[in-house]
Amino acid sequence: MDEKTLPKAGAMTVGSISGSLVRFTLPLFIGNLFQQLYNTADALIVGNFLGSEALASVSSTGSLVFLIISFFAGLSGGASVAISRYIGARDSEKVEKAVHTHVALSLLGAAILTTFGSYIAPIALRWMGTPAAALPGASEYIRIFFLGSLGTVLYNTFRSIMQAAGDGKNPLKYLIICSVLNVVLDILFITVFHGGVGSAAFATVLSQLVSAFLCGLRLIRTKENYALRISRIRIHAQMAGLTIKYGFPSGMQNSVTAISNVLIQANINTFGTMAVAGCGAYSKIEGFAFLPITSFAIALTTFVGQNLGAREYDRARKGARFGMLTATGLAQLVGIIGFLAAPFLIGLFTQEPEAIAFGVLKMRTCSLFYCVLALSHTLAAILRGAGKAVVPMVSMLLFWCVGRVIIISLAMPVYHSIGVVNWVFPITWCMTTAFLMVYFLRGDWVHSFEKKDA
């Protein structure tokens, strides 16, 4: 395949740095905004129509869902780094092999999730001490979610391929359609058909399957060299090795972070149903508030990967600096707004004063530290784009997992307060950011792609 058939993603290696990043980030941001609707529509509609106990049921599943899904999301990110790298290096053959290996591994992962997730997750909810009033609904919700995990895995796989190639517009279009569908189905199943918490999970599963179908169809029809050909889906050993090399550390990073979040959720559970509902409402709002930052992080990973693959080292450095400054400034603005509007925002999910109080306390503890979290995310994204995914993994393991476990284990027996649980987040954000900044300033990540993988 000659250079004329290469995808337009290579444009990230030329032209305005800020323009390239902003143009790539904007559709990502809008897409992630609608993606967040998947996660939030259930809680918002369930909380308002079925009550705070039902909201607690949905909220109590969040950390466990993230624990099981996030490892595969990390592997997907690793494949994205490899694909963007070969696009930047203009190597069509390796782009094709990386794409089809990625899809094959994702299908295998979806089978594992469907088989084991639907069985193990309800048991884990009991181990976590989920409040008795919320446990039946939570078990039903999480079982249905994992039985339909194929749609979730394939959608994120297909989207990561298109994003690695610089195509953020088509996943965005499909995501808007399916996010609206999810909201409509939630309202239909709960208010018209009078379904319970499980019907909200069913609506999410159906919507994800539709989004996966639309993205897959687009990849099959494209003429670019990242096109999907069903007959070519197989695991190429070399590409599987690269996916694991770049993606396994991210997957482990996500998993160990999620393990600490499961511990934190177990501690929140000890404060009762209203604490679970209020803190769950905050987590949904935080997901929206941090969308600009996560979008910038994805863009930075692709930008750095393509430019290092093309040996545009100075451009990669300048893009990294621009991304860090923009993301941290934007995050602090969002944090100030969240601090001031906390009662109104939490009140969108529940009318219970006690639940609102728990949610407001957590938001006002964490929101003013969003700038630190943003810097941590962008530093990790830059290093992943450079193929240095082990460094963010180690930092998250040390601080977001081990550090949080130590802090909570030592402090909670002495001072059993929800404030201890809340403060563990900004404390470990600061630790992680300091660790990553020291490594970033060394600068050796810039030439990481000079070593050939084969």
* Domains of the chain, residue spans: 15-450
pLDDT of residue 218: 92
Question: What is the rounded CA–CA span in Å between residue 377 and residue 370?
Answer: 10
Mean per-residue pLDDT, 290-319 = 83
pLDDT digits (tens, 9 = 90+) for 266-284: 889 889 889 988 898 898 8
In this structure, what token pair is assigned to residue 292? 């600009």
CA angle 68-436-419, nearest 5°?
Answer: 65
Which has the closest alpha carbon to 283: 355, 189, 354? 355
How many CB atoms are closer than 10 A to CB 263?
Answer: 19
What proportion of the chain, given as a percentage, has pLDDT over 90?
A: 21
Structure confidence at residue 67 as a pLDDT band (50, 70, 90): low
Structure confidence at residue 5 as a pLDDT band (50, 70, 90): very low
Main-chain dihedrals φ then ψ at residue 170, nearest 5 degrees: -70, -45
In this structure, what token pair is assigned to residue 39? 């996660």
Structure confidence at residue 334 as a pLDDT band (50, 70, 90): very high
pLDDT of residue 18: 83
pLDDT of residue 333: 93
pLDDT digits (tens, 9 = 90+) for 166-215: 776 788 788 888 888 988 998 898 888 888 888 888 888 898 899 899 99
Contact criterion met (CB below 8 Å) for 309 and 170: no
Contact criterion met (CB below 8 Å) for 46 and 190: yes
First to last CA, the chain: 20
Question: What is the rounded CA–CA span in Å between residue 129 and residue 118?
Answer: 18
Structure confidence at residue 29 as a pLDDT band (50, 70, 90): confident
Average pLDDT, the chain: 82
Question: What is the rounded CA–CA span in Å between residue 180 and residue 318?
Answer: 38
Is the pLDDT reported for residue 452 higher than 50?
A: no
Highest mean pLDDT among 47-56, 345-354, 390-399, 445-454: 345-354
Residue 411's Cβ-count burial label (10 Å; 0-12, 13-18, 19+) is middle
Which position has the higher pLDDT, 429 or 308?
A: 429
Main-chain dihedrals φ then ψ at residue 130, nearest 5 degrees: -55, 130
Residue with tokens 């929140």: 268
Residue 124's Cβ-count burial label (10 Å; 0-12, 13-18, 19+) is middle
pLDDT digits (tens, 9 = 90+) for 109-168: 888 888 877 778 788 788 777 888 888 888 888 888 888 889 888 988 898 888 788 776
pLDDT digits (tens, 9 = 90+) for 194-208: 888 888 888 888 988
Structure confidence at residue 6 as a pLDDT band (50, 70, 90): very low
pLDDT of residue 213: 94
Main-chain dihedrals φ then ψ at residue 168, nearest 5 degrees: -100, -15
Question: What is the rounded CA–CA span in Å between residue 66 and residue 68?
Answer: 6
pLDDT of residue 8: 46
**For 256-269, what is the HEC assignment?**
HHHHHHHHHHHHHH
In this structure, what token pair is assigned to residue 234? 């197989």
Is the pLDDT reported for residue 343 higher than 90?
A: yes
H or E element: which one contains 364? helix 353-366
Is the pLDDT reported for residue 9 higher than 70?
A: no
In this structure, what token pair is assigned to residue 83? 């694909």
Residue type, 39: N
Is the pLDDT reported for residue 395 higher than 80?
A: yes
Question: What is the rounded CA–CA span in Å between residue 150 and residue 199?
Answer: 18
CA distances from 284 to 33, 100, 180, 253 (A): 12, 34, 17, 21
Which position has the higher pLDDT, 83 or 333?
A: 333
pLDDT of residue 38: 63
Contacts of 187 (CB under 8 A, 6+ apart): 45
Contacts of 281 (CB under 8 A, 6+ apart): 43, 47, 55, 59, 346, 348, 349, 350, 355, 359
Sign of CA dihedral 54, 60, 66, 69: negative
Question: What is the rounded CA–CA span in Å between residue 382 and residue 380?
Answer: 6
Mean per-residue pLDDT, 246-271 = 76
Question: What is the rounded CA–CA span in Å between residue 313 and residue 237?
Answer: 29
Q: Where are the beta strands (DSSP E) in 285-399?
A: none
Which has the closest alpha carbon to 142: 126, 129, 159? 126
pTM: 0.66
Length of the chain: 454
Structure confidence at residue 228 as a pLDDT band (50, 70, 90): very high
Residue type, 155: Y
pLDDT of residue 433: 94
Question: What is the rounded CA–CA span in Å between residue 232 and residue 246?
Answer: 23
Mean per-residue pLDDT, 311-331 = 88
Which position has the higher pLDDT, 52 or 195?
A: 195
Which has the closest alpha carbon to 46: 193, 179, 196? 196
